[in-house]
Amino acid sequence: MMLEVKNMVVSYGRIQAVKGIDFDVPAKSIVTLLGINGAGKSTTLRALSGLLPLTSGEIWFEGERIDALPAHKIVERGIAQSPEGRRLFKNMSVQDNLMLGAFSRSDADGIKKDLDRVYDMFEVLASRRNEPAGLFSGGEQQMLAIGRAMMSRPKLLMLDEPSMGLSPIMTQLIMKTIKELRSEGMTILLVEQNAQAALSLADKGYVLEVGNITLSDTGKALLKDDRVRRAYLGAD
Amino acid sequence: MTIVSPELQSRYGKPARIVAIVGAAIMVFAPMVPWVYTGKILDDMRRAFDPSGLQILFELVALVLLGVLVTSMFGVKLGKYKNVVAWNSTALAASLGGLGYIAAIVLAVAVVGSQKGLGGLAAAEPGLWIALAGSVIASAGSVFLRKSPRATLAKVPSPAWVQILALVAVVAMVLFMAAFAVNLTEVESFLVCCVFIVAAVFVFRATGVMGWLSIATANNRKVLMLAAFAAAFIFPATQDGSDANMTVVAQVLIFAGTALGLNIVVGLAGLLDMGYIAFLGAGAFTAAVLSRSAYATFSIDLPFPVVVLISGTVAALFGLLIGSPTLRVSGDYLAIVTLAFGEIFRITMVNLDGTDGPNITHGSNGIPAIPNLDFFGFDFGKSHEIFGITITRQANYYLLLLVVIAIVIAVFANLNHSRIGRGWVAIREDEMAAEAMGVNTFTLKLLAFAGGAFLAGMVGAVKAYKDTSVTPDQFVFLESCFLLSAVVLGGMGTVMGVLIGATILKLLPEKLRFFDDYRMLIFGALLVVMMRFRPEGIVADERRQMEFHDEDEELADEVEEELVTHHDLLNPEGGK
């Protein structure tokens, strides 16, 4: 297993947002966490990134326990996230945003190479690389957010609701990109509300409800599960 | 700016231009005849065909106005580009600027004339009224001119030497105006000159050449820096061996250097520090305590560059000491905590007097009688003749301060464009996102604190020698407020803006002693007005401008277009 989460509890003050969950992410796979607003998905990702402390439980990444490490050390270990709502640096240029993604690295040649790779992948970013990120459309900003997360050359890429606020066509495009990344050998933890899009490309899925994991199975099996279909896919 | 409706403009455009030209011609003629019968009001305006300095400034406005009005009739083209300069907008700005300037002079004559018992406006000669009438006629004509399309000069490719020449000319103009303004001893003359400077800036902006100039600046950053420093080095030569003005200007430099250090903390990293003056104090006390003064408690004879480094280091350590507990809070809390630490520093310096604590600073008496610096026999305390120019004591320190400020600016500019600078800006924009990207936020914030403190400490060391005495009451909370105001007023995160802000906040009170009692009121009002109309400061950092106007569609378009042209011109082959 690349990432193993054991009995993780995360709280905001006295309120437990994540109430002791276990899940794991095998290398070179796409794992998705499904859940509605307030289920604890983003809290889980923040805790994995070291942005929130754990109340109890353990996080293991490639055989190393990482739950006490500060955020920048976790990025150095190879976990990057594209946060909820994209959180781009809107007044900084595309290039500066990408360079910030590579903040933890010091290999200038490698950074240059990865920069070219991101620009190859998202051509709209390449042609407007000196413009402030805030001037781009939602879909383009999402591309930039993914590109920025890729710039730290992560082993595990965590995407928090990449389809949020995007048109169906844009969502398809983003999902296609995620698939491509996996075929290049990237491991992806995808947090989504859009169950259809997420499950159809996930190897494994977990359903998160008010801080607990209530279902887990392969992506295909979950797509056919009655409870998932009722709750997320609008079937009755 | 549109004052009359576009229909009226298109109907009366042609006759209006003739009216404006007549007005401008009258304005050009006016300075040739006396404006005031006595030389005791403003500068000497009583001679015919021998205009005084302030009259020449009016003549300049008039000539620009006339030139613009006449040139625009011929539809000048540069290559394939029409409307290189916004002719009509320039004419409007110049005529209104001229009107404002002459109105200020009339007001000054009325007030000063009656104060000095010279009969107020009765002291005016016909020339003044001719100038006023000319301005009114020119303004009346200019408001009917059609609004200019956006100037296209920024799109015209220009050779490097033209750009460099233009930059040098601008620097020379600024030097000339600075020397002229500082040398005006009468308060009313200085105020009138300030009105001219404001008017000139508006005319300059109206021409639409700012865009071109910013491209020229971006292309020749080093040339501009060199020219600016050369101008600053020549400045003492304009003072004719007088120490009075140099004292003021050296104070401005100390203030500006400290504000530049604060700019790292506030402008780049976005940490609100309300006790920053303590770092200047830490540097100044360190230098004083180590100096050869009879009152110094650790007097060692060290070379000055070493003293500067030690002072900076002590200030930086102090920054780490204050920073490591306080940087865990942010925003308003950080402001309050740093304010408290600033006061703690001052009170500690008062208490290190031998009774309440070990004697290090002699308490509120501080450390006086710090001897002048001596560089390889060059005594900073004496006047020196160099190429026939007298460099006075204050001028010596002024030149030394310039060197220190050059170092501060070099550090600032390099940090701003480095990986660390990018990290700071990211923290300022969105701390959580920065953390998620792997930015070590706490260390970087601490580094900003310590770095800013180091620069302030260096400036403090020079301040100790220049002032010859260091006392705790030089480092009160109010000074921290002024530093912060200078950064905010000038433009956070920019070098040029902070220099301008510091000059305004320090030079004006020194030149305008009479409003000393009201300066808090006036600066407060000024800041409120700035926050309403131009929250990004006088000089805007391009990364920040959008932050303040994110709902302003027009500005967004403008910035986008500017960036695109800018980018294309800087990278002719790549990109698009």
Q: What is the pLDDT of residue B87?
A: 86
CA-closest candidate to residue B455, choices B335, B321, B313, B325:
B313
Comparing alpha-carbon positions, the chain A residue that sits nearest to B544 is A91
Q: What is the pLDDT of residue B547?
A: 56
Q: How far is CA A79 from CA A33, A135, B61, B103, in A?
A: 16, 28, 63, 67
Model confidence over B25-80: pLDDT tens digits? 999 988 888 888 888 888 888 888 888 888 899 999 999 999 988 888 877 777 77
Comparing alpha-carbon positions, the chain B residue that sits nearest to A148 is B437
Beta carbons within 10 angstroms of residue B419's beta carbon: 15
Q: What is the pLDDT of residue A9?
A: 95
Cβ–Cβ under 8 Å, residues B437 and A99: no
CA dihedral A20, A24, A29, A31 (to 10 degrees): -10
Query: Is pLDDT above 70 for B568?
Result: no
Question: What would the two tokens of residue A227 be?
Answer: 């409870």
Q: What is the pLDDT of residue A178?
A: 92
Query: Is pLDDT above 90 for B322?
Result: no
Check A152 against B437: CB less than 8 A apart.
yes
Over residues B496-507, mean pLDDT: 89
Check A100 against B544: CB less than 8 A apart.
no
Cβ–Cβ under 8 Å, residues B319 and B269: no
Q: What is the pLDDT of residue B573?
A: 46
- Distance (Å, whole) CA B545 – CA B535: 9
pLDDT, tens digit only, all 236 positions of chain A: 899 999 999 999 889 999 999 999 999 999 999 988 888 999 999 999 999 999 999 999 999 999 999 999 999 999 999 998 889 998 889 999 999 999 998 898 999 999 999 999 888 899 888 888 988 988 899 999 999 999 999 999 999 999 888 888 889 889 999 999 999 899 999 999 888 889 989 999 999 999 999 999 998 999 888 888 888 777 66
Place of tokens 């109010």: B478
Alpha helices in B264-368 (DSSP H): 277-290, 304-326, 332-351
Asked if B556 is an interface residue toward chain A (Cβ–Cβ < 8 A), one would say yes
Which residues fall within 8 angstroms of residue B78, CB to CB, at 6 or more apart? B84, B153, B156
**What DSSP string runs through B425-462?**
HHHHH-HHHHHHTT--HHHHHHHHHHHHHHHHHHHHHH
**Minimum mean pLDDT range among A53-62, B171-180, B310-319:** B171-180
The alpha-carbon gap from A65 to the nearest alpha carbon of chain B, in Å, equals 18
- Distance (Å, whole) CA B425 – CA A99: 12
Comparing alpha-carbon positions, the chain B residue that sits nearest to A88 is B433
DSSP state of A132: B
Q: What is the pLDDT of residue B1?
A: 55
Check A91 against B437: CB less than 8 A apart.
no
Residue A43 covered by a domain: yes
Beta carbons within 10 angstroms of residue B350's beta carbon: 19
pLDDT tier at B562, thresholds 50, 70, 90: low
Taking CB atoms and an 8 Å cutoff, what residues of chain B touch A70?
Answer: 440
Taking CB atoms and an 8 Å cutoff, what residues of chain A touch B267?
Answer: none
Report the CATH number at residue A73.
3.40.50.300
Model confidence over B150-160: pLDDT tens digits? 777 777 778 88
pLDDT tier at B340, thresholds 50, 70, 90: very high
DSSP state of B81: B
Check A127 against B433: CB less than 8 A apart.
no
Query: Is pLDDT above 50 for B24?
Result: yes
Counting one residue from chain A and one from chain B, the pairs whose CB atoms sit within 8 A come to 88
Cβ–Cβ under 8 Å, residues B264 and B412: yes
Place of tokens 């990449």: A162
Question: What would the two tokens of residue B541 be?
Answer: 């950092």
Classify B492 as helix, strand or coil. coil
Q: What is the pLDDT of residue B570?
A: 52
Q: Is the pTM of this model over 0.80?
A: yes
Closest in A81, A89, A131 to B560, CB measured: A131
Place of tokens 């054991």: A6
Query: Is pLDDT above 90 for B330?
Result: no
Q: What is the pLDDT of residue B178?
A: 86
Check A132 against B543: CB less than 8 A apart.
yes
The type of residue at A167 is S
Q: What is the pLDDT of residue B536?
A: 83
Asked if B576 is an interface residue toward chain A (Cβ–Cβ < 8 A), one would say yes
How far from chain centre, in Å, is Cα B137? 34
Taking CB atoms and an 8 Å cutoff, what residues of chain A touch B557?
Answer: none
Q: What is the pLDDT of residue B47?
A: 83
Q: How far is CA B470 from CA A132, B53, B291, B361, in A?
A: 46, 40, 11, 9
Comparing alpha-carbon positions, the chain B residue that sits nearest to A150 is B437
Check A96 against B438: CB less than 8 A apart.
no
Q: Which range has the top average pLDDT, A224-228, B312-316, B411-415, B536-540? A: B312-316
Check A72 against B440: CB less than 8 A apart.
yes
Check B559 against A132: CB less than 8 A apart.
yes
CA-closest candidate to residue A204, choices A226, A182, A184:
A182
Classify B526 as helix, strand or coil. helix
Comparing alpha-carbon positions, the chain A residue that sits nearest to B575 is A127
DSSP state of B514: G
Check A130 against B440: CB less than 8 A apart.
no
Check A96 against B422: CB less than 8 A apart.
yes
* Among B residues 433-462, those touching chain A with beta carbons less than 8 Å apart: 433-441
Alpha helices in B373-518 (DSSP H): 393-416, 419-429, 431-436, 441-467, 477-490, 495-511
Check A76 against B438: CB less than 8 A apart.
yes
Taking CB atoms and an 8 Å cutoff, what residues of chain B touch A96?
Answer: 422, 425
- Distance (Å, whole) CA A77 – CA A64: 10
Model confidence over B205-223: pLDDT tens digits? 888 887 788 888 878 888 8
The alpha-carbon gap from B431 to the nearest alpha carbon of chain A, in Å, equals 10
Compute the mean pLDDT over every residue in chain B, rounded to the nearest whole number.
85
Check B433 against A89: CB less than 8 A apart.
yes
- Distance (Å, whole) CA A189 – CA A48: 11
Alpha helices in chain A (DSSP H): 41-49, 71-77, 94-101, 108-121, 123-127, 138-150, 168-183, 195-201, 219-224, 226-232
Residue A167 covered by a domain: no
Domain ranges of chain B: 6-232, 240-476, 541-576
pLDDT tier at B574, thresholds 50, 70, 90: very low
A-side interface with B, Cβ within 8 Å?
49, 51, 70-72, 74-76, 80-81, 83, 87-92, 96, 99-101, 103-104, 127, 129-132, 134-135, 148, 152
Residue A155 covered by a domain: no
pLDDT tier at B553, thresholds 50, 70, 90: low
Residue A205 covered by a domain: yes
Residue A134 covered by a domain: no
Residue A60 covered by a domain: yes
The alpha-carbon gap from B540 to the nearest alpha carbon of chain A, in Å, equals 13
Check A80 against B544: CB less than 8 A apart.
no
Q: What is the pLDDT of residue B549?
A: 56
Classify B490 as helix, strand or coil. helix
Residue A166 covered by a domain: no
Check A100 against B550: CB less than 8 A apart.
no
Closest in A72, A91, A104 to B547, CB measured: A91
Check A49 against B436: CB less than 8 A apart.
yes
Question: What would the two tokens of residue B267 be?
Answer: 């402008």
Question: What would the two tokens of residue B36 be?
Answer: 């005031």
Asked if B172 is an interface residue toward chain A (Cβ–Cβ < 8 A), one would say no
Comparing alpha-carbon positions, the chain B residue that sits nearest to A72 is B438
Taking CB atoms and an 8 Å cutoff, what residues of chain A touch B420?
Answer: none
Which residues fall within 8 angstroms of residue B26, CB to CB, at 6 or more apart? B130, B131, B133, B134, B137, B138
Taking CB atoms and an 8 Å cutoff, what residues of chain B touch A49?
Answer: 436
In which domain, by residue range, is A73 found?
Answer: 1-78+191-236
Strands A30-34 and A204-209: parallel
Model confidence over B232-257: pLDDT tens digits? 888 888 887 778 888 889 999 999 99
Q: What is the pLDDT of residue B381?
A: 78
Over residues B259-271, mean pLDDT: 92
Over residues B362-388, mean pLDDT: 80
Interface test with A, best of B425, B437, B443 (most A CBs within 10 A): B437
Query: Is pLDDT above 80 for B557?
Result: no
Q: What is the pLDDT of residue B575?
A: 37
Check B438 against A132: CB less than 8 A apart.
no
Name the percent of chain B lying above pLDDT 90.
33
Asked if B205 is an interface residue toward chain A (Cβ–Cβ < 8 A), one would say no
Question: What would the two tokens of residue B500 be?
Answer: 């301008």
Closest in A49, A51, A89 to B429, CB measured: A89
Taking CB atoms and an 8 Å cutoff, what residues of chain A touch B423?
Answer: 100, 103
- Distance (Å, whole) CA B479 – CA A121: 52
How far from chain centre, in Å, is Cα B419? 28
Taking CB atoms and an 8 Å cutoff, what residues of chain A touch B445?
Answer: none
Region class of A59: left (phi > 0), else alpha (psi between -120 and 50), else beta: beta
The domain tally of chain A equals 1
Asked if B425 is an interface residue toward chain A (Cβ–Cβ < 8 A), one would say yes
Beta carbons within 10 angstroms of residue B551's beta carbon: 7
Could you give the ipTM of this predicted complex? 0.90
Closest in B430, B440, B559 to A89, CB measured: B430
Beta carbons within 10 angstroms of residue B177's beta carbon: 15
Question: What would the two tokens of residue B376 be?
Answer: 């390889």
Residue A126 covered by a domain: no
**Minimum mean pLDDT range among B13-17, B50-54, B380-384, B488-492:** B380-384
Query: Is pLDDT above 50 for B576?
Result: no
Comparing alpha-carbon positions, the chain A residue that sits nearest to B557 is A135
Asked if B567 is an interface residue toward chain A (Cβ–Cβ < 8 A), one would say yes
Comparing alpha-carbon positions, the chain A residue that sits nearest to B434 is A100
CA-closest candidate to residue A55, choices A8, A96, A2:
A8
Taking CB atoms and an 8 Å cutoff, what residues of chain A touch B547?
Answer: 91
The alpha-carbon gap from A9 to the nearest alpha carbon of chain B, in Å, equals 20
Taking CB atoms and an 8 Å cutoff, what residues of chain B touch A157?
Answer: none
Strands B374-375 and B378-379: antiparallel
The type of residue at A219 is G
Q: What is the pLDDT of residue B569?
A: 53
Over residues B143-169, mean pLDDT: 83
Q: What is the pLDDT of residue B113?
A: 86
Beta carbons within 10 angstroms of residue B82's beta carbon: 11
